[in-house]
């Protein structure tokens, strides 16, 4: 009954209150709005499978996918393949991030560093990492080394580009402040340069994570004997669409989780920043 | 490359001899001489573009990329206050204050400096949570926490509203009375110069055109006839014939 208290008395015309300005925002968010689309898709899929409209050889039913997931977990294949995939992606991500960051700091803080590094990396940026795959296979074979190197190559470029850009766009007034306080170089780096470049670095990380999974998918589908990609490849040969879908869902979850982790880090690390989004 | 023969003075005095600073072919300061005694509070006036900031940056050693020559002797311990507060937005207020400090008691000293400018309790705020006047007070705390012998300030209150500026004047006088650094305050506000300083310099065409010792009690006001006389002299020298108010 609280609503009636707030409601205007019927029949009286209120003198023209200032109308709210035209709204440019899309309006209030719908509760659980993000879940509506996927849920609808899932319902169509389930209904189609139940009614027999979808041939299980084209697309397995959702419940088949669930039971298959259970089976794969029971015999350990899912965990083993997931572990090896996560290890490849993680290794490539860590190595690529370290390389990208170090190169960005070197190029950002010294003219010689920039002259030597920036050109080659910009050229590398123009060539998709995956186009280098034939060459990498020739050089490093088809083992783990080639896989991790391919992922690393996809990771370090965005980390470098965005961190370097972040470094370059640090306000020169802060550099002047550092000079006026006669900060030692190490303190200058730790207190001014690195925090100043952090927003750029984290943006680079978001691209890097996407690239890492992308490269993983590709390297695991060529000449691999383990990993989620291999599991899916094998399933293709046996026509097991349910296993393929389990793999797809896994890739999707991994991508979402890692992007969420970077965004969380972003929010934590950049809490001093107030932007339009907050 | 600006070469500063000469060096550091121990007692807080400032000595500038035959200073030349210019941009391109145009000399902003050309054979500039200046002496400031230890503990003196000097205000530097001058028209826009007369070279006030150029001089201040030379004294602060922030102009290594500017052409020039001359001798500069300044105390080793000097601090700069800029027109903008220039706080690092990603460091909390206390960390901003102690940025240039080393040693185990840095945080203690930072807290004390913040309390002195009336910001006790705001140590953990982010700079952009503070008002413009509060930010400038943090900048003052950062400049004074190292107990400088020379304080260089380039229009530190230029961006503040009139009321806040008056409060800052009182604060600055108070801090000056307590710490007694040599002060060089650049301003374009004649009233501010006469209110705060013991000596007012007027920079014109790269030279000191007026060097005025302000002989007024610590409590100064626009109603004192001598205050108005100083004001009149400086305004006339600045080319303003007729003073309003
Ligand atoms: N980095 C620079 N490059 C070229 N010219 C400059 C540079 N900095 C200052 N100048 C010139 O030197 C002259 C003096 O500048 P300065 O900043 O010292 O003036 P100012 O007295 O501080 O003026 P204001 O009161 O407007 O701050 C000006 O004519 C300005 O155009
Ligand atoms: Mg200036």
HEC letters along B73-115: EEECCEEEECCCCCCCCCCCHHHHHCCCCCCCCHHHHHHHHHH
DSSP string, A153-202: HHHHHHHHHHHHHHHHTS-HHHHHHHHHTT--HHHHIIIIIHHHHHHHHH
Please provide residue A147's backbone torsions phi and psi, each rounded to the nearest 5 degrees: -65, -50
Give the dihedral sign, CA B213/B161/B149/B57.
negative
Find chain A residues with C-beta within 8 A of B98's C-beta.
Answer: none
Q: Is residue A92 a contact partner of residue A152, using CB atoms and an 8 Å limit?
A: yes
- CB contact set of A49 (below 8 Å; sequence gap of 6+): A56, A59, A60, A61, A62, A63
Q: What is the mean pLDDT of chain B?
A: 88
Per-residue pLDDT reduced to its tens digit, B82-109: 999 999 999 999 999 999 898 889 999 9
Find chain B residues with C-beta within 8 A of A177's C-beta.
Answer: 82, 86, 88, 99
The residue ranges of every structural domain in chain B are 8-77+148-238, 88-147
- The confidence score (pLDDT) of residue B9 equals 61
- The confidence score (pLDDT) of residue A153 equals 93
Cβ–Cβ of A195/B79 closer than 8 Å? Answer: no
- CB contact set of A226 (below 8 Å; sequence gap of 6+): A80, A81, A84
Output the six-digit token pair for A182.
Answer: 């006669």
A26-40, A205-219, B167-181: least confidently modelled range: A26-40
Give the residue, by CA position, lying nearest to ligand 1 atom 4.
B23
CA dist A6 to A1, A11, A15, B135, Å? 9, 15, 17, 43
Residue B5 has pLDDT above 60, yes or no: no
- The confidence score (pLDDT) of residue B145 equals 93
Of the pLDDT bands very low, low, confident and very high (cuts 50, 70, 90), residue B76 is: confident
Q: How far apart are CA A53 and CA A209, in angstroms?
A: 38
| Nearest beta carbon to residue B100 from set A181, A196, A273 | A181
- The confidence score (pLDDT) of residue B151 equals 94
Helix H or strand E encompassing B33: strand B26-36
- CB contact set of A196 (below 8 Å; sequence gap of 6+): A166, A167, A170, A171, A174, B90
Per DSSP, B198 falls in state S
- CB contact set of B64 (below 8 Å; sequence gap of 6+): B1, B2
B6 burial via Cβ count (<10 Å: 0-12, 13-18, 19+): middle
- The confidence score (pLDDT) of residue A147 equals 93
Chain B, window 139-178: residues with a beta carbon less than 8 angstroms from a chain A beta carbon:
none
Mutate to test the interface with A, among B56, B78, B83, B88 (most CBs of A within 10 A): B88
The CATH fold assigned to B8-77+148-238 is: Rossmann fold (3.40.50)
- CB contact set of B28 (below 8 Å; sequence gap of 6+): B21, B22, B51, B54, B206
Of the pLDDT bands very low, low, confident and very high (cuts 50, 70, 90), residue B1 is: very low
Q: How far apart are CA B40 and CA B199, in angstroms?
A: 8
| Nearest beta carbon to residue B62 from set A180, A270, A273 | A180
Helix H or strand E encompassing A259: helix A241-269
Q: How far apart are CA A95 and CA B50, in angstroms?
A: 54
Q: What is the mean pLDDT of chain A?
A: 87
Residue B172 has pLDDT above 50, yes or no: yes
SS3 B16: strand
Q: Does B62 touch chain A (CB under 8 A)?
A: yes
Q: Is residue B36 a contact partner of residue B59, using CB atoms and an 8 Å limit?
A: no
Output the six-digit token pair for B65.
Answer: 């990329």
CA dist A171 to A168, A174, A196, A205, B88, Å? 8, 6, 9, 22, 10
Q: How far apart are CA A237 and CA B122, in angstroms?
A: 66
User: The complex's ipTM?
Assistant: 0.87
- CB contact set of A248 (below 8 Å; sequence gap of 6+): A232
- The confidence score (pLDDT) of residue A162 equals 95
Output the six-digit token pair for B199.
Answer: 């000596």
Q: How far apart are CA A88 and CA A90, in angstroms?
A: 6
Q: Is residue A109 a contact partner of residue A193, using CB atoms and an 8 Å limit?
A: yes
Q: Is residue B62 a contact partner of residue A176, using CB atoms and an 8 Å limit?
A: yes
Mean pLDDT value across residues B26-38: 90
Q: Is residue B20 a contact partner of residue B70, using CB atoms and an 8 Å limit?
A: yes
Of the pLDDT bands very low, low, confident and very high (cuts 50, 70, 90), residue A30 is: confident
Q: Is residue A156 a contact partner of residue A225, using CB atoms and an 8 Å limit?
A: no
Residue B243 has pLDDT above 80, yes or no: no
Chain B, window 100-129: residues with a beta carbon less than 8 angstroms from a chain A beta carbon:
100, 126-128
Residues near ligand 1 with C-beta < 6 Å? B 23, 28, 46, 48-54, 188
Q: B21: CA distance to ligand 1 center in Å? A: 11
Chains A, B: CB contacts within 8 A come to 43
Cβ–Cβ of A273/B82 closer than 8 Å? Answer: no
Q: Is residue B186 a contact partner of residue B44, using CB atoms and an 8 Å limit?
A: yes
Q: Does B37 touch chain A (CB under 8 A)?
A: no
Chain A, window 190-209: residues with a beta carbon less than 8 angstroms from a chain B beta carbon:
191-192, 195-196, 198
Q: Is residue B138 a contact partner of residue B66, using CB atoms and an 8 Å limit?
A: no
Per-residue pLDDT reduced to its tens digit, B212-228: 898 888 888 888 889 89
């Amino acid at each position: 009954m609280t609503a009636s208290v707030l409601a205007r008395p019927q029949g009286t015309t209120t003198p023209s209150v200032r109308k709210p300005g035209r709204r440019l925002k899309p309006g209030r968010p719908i509760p659980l709005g993000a879940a509506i689309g996927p849920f609808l898709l899932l319902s169509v899929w389930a209904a189609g499978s139940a009614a027999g409209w979808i041939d299980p050889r084209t697309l397995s039913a959702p419940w088949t996918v669930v039971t298959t997931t259970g089976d794969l977990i029971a015999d350990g294949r899912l965990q083993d393949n997931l572990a090896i995939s996560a290890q490849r992606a993680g290794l490539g991500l860590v190595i690529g991030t370290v390389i990208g960051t170090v190169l960005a700091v070197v190029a950002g803080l010294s003219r010689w560093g920039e002259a030597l590094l920036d050109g080659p990396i910009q050229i590398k940026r123009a060539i998709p990492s995956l186009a280098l795959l034939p060459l990498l296979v020739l050089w490093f074979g088809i083992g783990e080394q080639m896989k991790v190197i391919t992922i690393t190559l996809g990771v370090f470029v965005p980390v470098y580009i965005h961190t370097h850009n972040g470094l370059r766009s640090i306000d020169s007034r802060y550099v002047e402040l550092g000079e006026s306080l006669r900060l030692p170089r190490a303190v200058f780096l730790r207190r001014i340069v690195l925090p100043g470049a952090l927003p750029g670095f984290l943006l680079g990380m978001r691209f890097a994570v996407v690239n890492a999974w992308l490269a993983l998918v590709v390297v695991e589908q060529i000449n691999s004997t383990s990993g989620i990609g291999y599991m899916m490849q094998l399933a293709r040969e046996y026509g097991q669409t349910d296993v393929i879908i389990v793999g797809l869902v896994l890739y999707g979850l991994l991508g979402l989780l890692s992007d969420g982790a970077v965004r969380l880090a972003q929010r934590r690390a950049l809490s001093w920043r107030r932007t339009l989004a907050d | 490359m600006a070469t500063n023969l000469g060096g550091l003075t121990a007692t807080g005095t400032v000595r500038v001899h035959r200073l030349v600073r210019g941009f391109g072919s145009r000399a902003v300061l050309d054979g500039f001489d200046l002496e400031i005694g230890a503990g003196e509070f000097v205000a530097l006036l001058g028209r826009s573009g007369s070279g006030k900031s150029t001089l201040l940056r030379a004294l602060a050693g922030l102009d290594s990329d500017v052409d020039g020559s001359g001798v500069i002797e300044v105390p080793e311990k000097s601090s700069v206050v800029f027109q903008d507060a220039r706080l690092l937005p990603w460091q909390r207020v206390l960390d901003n204050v102690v940025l240039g400090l080393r040693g185990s008691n840095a945080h203690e000293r930072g807290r004390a400096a913040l309390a002195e400018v009336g910001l006790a309790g705001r140590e953990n705020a982010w700079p952009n949570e503070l008002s413009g006047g509060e930010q400038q007070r943090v900048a003052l705390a950062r400049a004074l926490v190292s107990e400088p012998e020379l304080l260089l300030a380039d229009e530190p209150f230029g961006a503040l509203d009139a009321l806040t500026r008056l409060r800052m004047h009182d604060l600055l006088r108070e801090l000056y009375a307590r710490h007694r650094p040599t002060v060089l305050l650049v301003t374009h506000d004649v009233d501010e110069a006469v209110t705060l300083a013991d000596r007012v310099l007027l920079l014109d065409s790269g030279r000191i055109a007026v060097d005025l010792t302000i002989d007024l009690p610590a409590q100064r006001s626009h109603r004192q006839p001598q205050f108005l006389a100083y004001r009149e002299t400086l305004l006339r020298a600045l080319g303003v014939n007729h003073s309003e108010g």
